Structure 1
Amino acid sequence: MTDASTVSGTATIATPASAAAPSAAAAVPTGAVADPEANARVRADDRAHVFHSWSAQALIDPHPVAGGAGASFWDYEGNTFLDFSSQLVNLNLGHQHPDLVAAIQAQAGRLATIQPSMANDVRGDLARRICEVAPEGMSKVFFTNGGADAVENAVRMARLVTGKRKVLAAYRSYHGNTSTAITLTGDPRRWANEPADGSVAHFFGPYAYRSPFHSASPEEETRRALEHLEQTIILEGASTIGAIILESVVGTNGVLVPPPGYLPGVRALCDRYGIVYIADEVMVGFGRIGEWFAFQAFDVVPDLITFAKGINSGYVPLGGVIISDEIAARFDTVAFPGGLTYSGHPLACAAGVATFEVFARDGILERVRDLGARVVEPRLRAMAAKHPSVGEVRGQGLFWAIELVKDAETREPLVPFNASGPDAAPMAAIAAACKKEGLWPFTHFNRVHVAPPLVISEEDLVRGLDIIDRALDVADRAAAG
């Protein structure tokens, strides 16, 4: 582990103006102090009483965390880690951003909560701000508590307005862990939850590096992926399909950036067959790739947009659905059959309003585009040229994946799909190498993802990339066998 004295003790470091970390997070001490008694107490309470998600309870050992600031967090052993996963790719404005904390405190002192059927100033303010950055013709927001229930309610809206129940979703996707959302999911987390919603069918989305269509170029991948999707629509029955849901940039399952023309092609197919297009922006919305919503980088407008995570960096649970005016109008005189006790919670919305103010004041979208293009992309491409274990790097803004392989020619993954236990040992060793140097990585299957908070300083970003570069030596040795 890295001693705290060797790690940057502030959330910002003097850097060029274009990449300097936002001023509001300046000079926040890490506070990393060894406290063995607290460490033992937290660990004991967790192991005795907390039931963890996606885990075999007796086989895990969750890491106790004492605090965080900016792009770093620390434990009770005196170790500080750069957070290169933004926790679950939701901490867009970093740990303990003073503006978000102050907004929550002020709102709690004024009105801690109010039921969703009443009008509330901060709820309406946030909804208006969201609609102002959404495409024209989308002027209503249905608030939820997170991404999964945003997806559930978007699908419900699509089914109600079309009168068609079936939904198409892509393999290599994740949409949440509620009933329909997990059925839509196209990765192994779905398997143990089946059967759930029986009106879901899956299709292959574009993935040029491992093309299921044997394409030789991004353009060919787009054309063949759209042909496959149209055949799926025809064979599943266009008259039965109410919606197609897509992550605008696939997140956990590979940071798969859609090739040119793909998303507009999906939009055209939805228009042709009377299908609602749902853009899942839960992970990539609110600045992750340098746009308010990722689909805005690909010249397309969906009918429904799901969001969560970056809307307020997860400081208080919040998600929602942005609704096209056409769909919203269908519920003008007919009740929408859904709701949540904590929908649009004032504390969550206050943090959301503060998020918009920070984005505007500190130029968050611009700095994400700058850091992604000027720092991250060239450095990752240099790693790809240096390390034989790197098959491909891909991404945009502050959202990238390093795909690791045993052999660059055959593209055999460094570890098998959905590997666990000894089969996943090489990836565990890479993660351990990162943590030893003070970086908490995001690894999934045979990939290392780069997804730090959007407020990270350029110096910390470079330092984190340096650590990953050295950790890839471990991958090279594993590939060489």
Structure 2
Amino acid sequence: MTLVQHELNSRAVARTYELDRRHVFHSWSAQAELDPMVVTRAEGSYIWDGEGNRLLDFSSQLVNTNIGHQHPYVVEAIAHQARTLATVAPQHANDQRSEAARLICERTPGDLDRVFFTNGGADANEHAVRMARLVTGRPKVLTRYRSYHGGTQTAINLTGDPRRWPNDNGDSGVVHFFGPYLYRSHFDATTEAEECRRALAHLEQVIELEGPQTVAAVLLEAIPGTAGIMLPPPGYLAGVRELCDRYGIMLIVDEVMTGFGRTGAWFVCGDEGVVPDLLTFAKGVNSGYVPLGGVALGDRVADHFAHRAYPGGLTYSGHPLACAAAAAAITVMERDGILDNARRIGTEVIGPELDRLAERHPSVGEVRGRGVFWAVELVADRHTRQPVAPTGGSSPVMAEAVRTAKKLGLLPFSNSNRIHLVPPCTITDAETREGLAALDQVLELVDTLVLGEGTGTGADDDR
């Protein structure tokens, strides 16, 4: 790059930042306290910031770029569709929506062979809940604490983390319950089997005390994502399915974050042999290249609306650019064995290396995950399991950890006291090890900040 080109790029970056701070209102943020990073380009597993620094994207942005950045096959599919049919109203059939629906339904479990397309995950959950309430004629929906289902009005009330609090007037018909989380068990469990059994007993008690005849649905993330990547113990999802069947309640599984390869499977519930009544998706369906989400539904819901109108819709439902991206992304995932890569990376690289880091660093309370969907929980004390930041908040320790990661060329996803490792499903072994080496240095810093000097190795492994 010539000196002139560098100067022009610097001016463009400065202009981008200036206009952002002047005109853009950011989500989930105190506006005056923001200092957003300018991103100028991306490719594969990397992004570049406004200063020309290359960062390994271990966040997949918002856990959605499952096929990596700027995949040429998908980019060309979008460009081709834009030249052919850039937009069309949703009441008309178009080839890309039909093809995307076919490809999705071939991968959903059981009889989920119809798709209602939305613009993203939040409105997918909104519509799934609306469908369940209309089909059952019941008002309530049960969701777990430590969950996230979106930022629209119903979805934020369904959410079980602190972002709900400023938006919750207690009139949404949502009742929260505790899900399984053995590391911080609400049920005094000591084994996964105990945690599963007691969590299911708790959910059944909530159903009974709320009145089963008032409950339309239980809505669960297949694996809670933003709230901590807490893998449900074996049998939990099947147990919830059985409870729903027993009480005539619909089961909605939110696979917005977990779907389309994130865990090494198309869908977690399908991988575990559980068929929900409704399944919501977004993010990885086309890696976020064009906004798209949806609800997959089976015969019970479809039959209910066979001769009565479904009272809901969106101007951009099944938008041809978004669906072209989805059809291309699913084709690439199948063709290139991307799910197999995600599963192998988790089993052979991330899992073993995180176990090693947990032994080495006393600030690591627990590591957990599957595929390319992992969380490292950071604590100030392994015995008390005191987190280094509060739920839904941050701390100087976490802020410094994220700053250090970026200086080392790693872009992590962080929430509360956790660093999430959620790279693209296409990441290579070498790239993964590059990111984990940077994480090792970040954890050295955290050890020092929370435990003092000289505690970065040979740690007490009482976790």
Q: What band does the TM-score fall into relative to the shorter chain?
A: over 0.9
Structure 2 match to 1:403: 377
Structure 2 match to 1:334: 308
Q: Does residue 1:430 correspond to 2:401, yes or no? A: yes
Q: Given the alignment, which residue of 274, 295, 298 partners 1:324?
A: 298
Task: Give the distance between the partners of 2:40 and 2:286, measured in 1 at CA.
Answer: 21
Deviation at 1:469, TM superposition (A): 0.9
Structure 1 match to 2:448: 477
| Contact 1:35–1:77 (8 Å) recurs in 2 | no
Give the letter aligned to residue 165 of structure 2. Answer: W
| Contact 1:180–1:196 (8 Å) recurs in 2 | no
Deviation at 1:416, TM superposition (A): 2.5
- The C-alpha deviation readout for 1:425-457, integer Å capped at 9, x for no partner, is 000111111100111111110001000011112
Structure 2 match to 1:298: 272
Matches within 5 A, 1:389-468: 389-420=363-394, 424-468=395-439
Give the letter aligned to residue 349 of structure 1. Answer: C
SS for the counterpart of 2:280 is strand
Structure 1 match to 2:143: 169
Structure 2 match to 1:23: none
| Contact 2:380–2:386 (8 Å) recurs in 1 | yes
Task: Give the distance between the partners of 1:333 and 1:416, measured in 2 at CA.
Answer: 50
Structure 2 match to 1:17: none
Q: What is the Cα-based RMSD across aligned positions, in Å?
A: 1.4
Give the letter aligned to residue 456 of structure 1. Answer: I
Task: Give the distance between the partners of 2:16 and 2:300, measured in 1 at CA.
Answer: 50
Deviation at 1:298, TM superposition (A): 2.4
Structure 1 match to 2:134: 160
Counting aligned pairs with the same residue, the percent is: 57
SS for the counterpart of 1:73 is strand
**Relative to 1, partners in 2 of residues 1:156 and 1:32: Cα closer, same or farther, differing over 3 Å?**
farther
Task: Give the distance between the partners of 2:75 and 2:53, measured in 1 at CA.
Answer: 24
Structure 1 unpaired stretches of 5+? 5-30
Q: Given the alignment, which residue of 90, 94, 100 partners 1:120?
A: 94
Deviation at 1:196, TM superposition (A): 6.5
Q: Does residue 1:140 correspond to 2:114, yes or no? A: yes
Give the letter aligned to residue 203 of structure 1. Answer: F
Task: Give the distance between the partners of 2:170 and 2:231, measured in 1 at CA.
Answer: 29
Q: Does residue 1:86 correspond to 2:60, yes or no? A: yes
Give the letter aligned to residue 435 of structure 1. Answer: K
Matches within 5 A, 1:273-312: 273-312=247-286
Deviation at 1:33, TM superposition (A): 9.9
The number of equivalent residue pairs is 449
Task: Give the distance between the partners of 1:454 and 1:151, measured in 2 at CA.
Answer: 24
Task: Give the distance between the partners of 1:34 and 1:204, measured in 2 at CA.
Answer: 54
| Contact 1:32–1:79 (8 Å) recurs in 2 | no
Task: Give the distance between the partners of 2:179 and 2:98, measured in 1 at CA.
Answer: 36
| Contact 1:169–1:185 (8 Å) recurs in 2 | yes
Structure 1 match to 2:457: none
| Contact 1:90–1:314 (8 Å) recurs in 2 | yes
Task: Give the distance between the partners of 1:350 and 1:44, measured in 2 at CA.
Answer: 34
Structure 2 match to 1:37: 11
Q: Does residue 1:67 correspond to 2:41, yes or no? A: yes
Task: Give the distance between the partners of 1:387 and 1:32, measured in 2 at CA.
Answer: 41
Task: Give the distance between the partners of 2:168 and 2:252, measured in 1 at CA.
Answer: 23
Task: Give the distance between the partners of 1:272 and 1:472, measured in 2 at CA.
Answer: 47
- The C-alpha deviation readout for 1:107-127, integer Å capped at 9, x for no partner, is 011100111101111101110
Deviation at 1:414, TM superposition (A): 1.6
Give the letter aligned to residue 461 of structure 1. Answer: T
SS for the counterpart of 1:35 is helix
Structure 1 match to 2:456: none
Q: Does residue 1:358 correspond to 2:332, yes or no? A: yes
| Contact 2:110–2:275 (8 Å) recurs in 1 | no
Task: Give the distance between the partners of 1:147 and 1:70, measured in 2 at CA.
Answer: 24
- The C-alpha deviation readout for 1:123-182, integer Å capped at 9, x for no partner, is 011101111111131111000000000000000000000000100000000000111100
The runs of 4+ residues in structure 1 deviating greater than 6 Å are: 31-34
Task: Give the distance between the partners of 1:419 and 1:335, measured in 2 at CA.
Answer: 43
| Contact 1:180–1:197 (8 Å) recurs in 2 | no
Task: Give the distance between the partners of 1:333 and 1:359, measured in 2 at CA.
Answer: 37
**TM-score, with length taken from structure 1:** 0.92
Task: Give the distance between the partners of 1:378 and 1:57, measured in 2 at CA.
Answer: 40
| Contact 2:162–2:391 (8 Å) recurs in 1 | no
Q: Which moved more, 1:338-347 or 1:357-366?
A: 357-366
**Relative to 1, partners in 2 of residues 1:95 and 1:197: Cα closer, same or farther, differing over 3 Å?**
farther
SS for the counterpart of 1:66 is strand
Q: Given the alignment, which residue of 252, 265, 268 partners 2:242?
A: 268
Matches within 5 A, 1:365-376: 365-376=339-350
- The C-alpha deviation readout for 1:90-119, integer Å capped at 9, x for no partner, is 111111110110000000111001111011
Deviation at 1:418, TM superposition (A): 3.0
Structure 2 match to 1:255: 229
**TM-score, with length taken from structure 2:** 0.95
- The C-alpha deviation readout for 1:198-233, integer Å capped at 9, x for no partner, is 201000000000000010100000000000000000
| Contact 1:108–1:347 (8 Å) recurs in 2 | yes
SS for the counterpart of 2:82 is helix
| Contact 1:32–1:75 (8 Å) recurs in 2 | no
**Relative to 1, partners in 2 of residues 1:297 and 1:139: Cα closer, same or farther, differing over 3 Å?**
closer
Give the letter aligned to residue 324 of structure 1. Answer: G
- The C-alpha deviation readout for 1:34-87, integer Å capped at 9, x for no partner, is 932112101100000000001110011111110100010002211010010000
Matches within 5 A, 1:109-258: 109-195=83-169, 197-258=171-232
Deviation at 1:419, TM superposition (A): 3.0
**Relative to 1, partners in 2 of residues 1:33 and 1:74: Cα closer, same or farther, differing over 3 Å?**
farther
- The C-alpha deviation readout for 1:242-278, integer Å capped at 9, x for no partner, is 0000000000000010001110000000000010000
| Contact 1:213–1:225 (8 Å) recurs in 2 | yes
| Contact 1:250–1:257 (8 Å) recurs in 2 | yes
Task: Give the distance between the partners of 1:235 and 1:475, measured in 2 at CA.
Answer: 44
| Contact 1:141–1:321 (8 Å) recurs in 2 | yes
Structure 2 unpaired stretches of 5+? 453-463
Give the letter aligned to residue 370 of structure 1. Answer: R
Task: Give the distance between the partners of 1:275 and 1:181, measured in 2 at CA.
Answer: 19
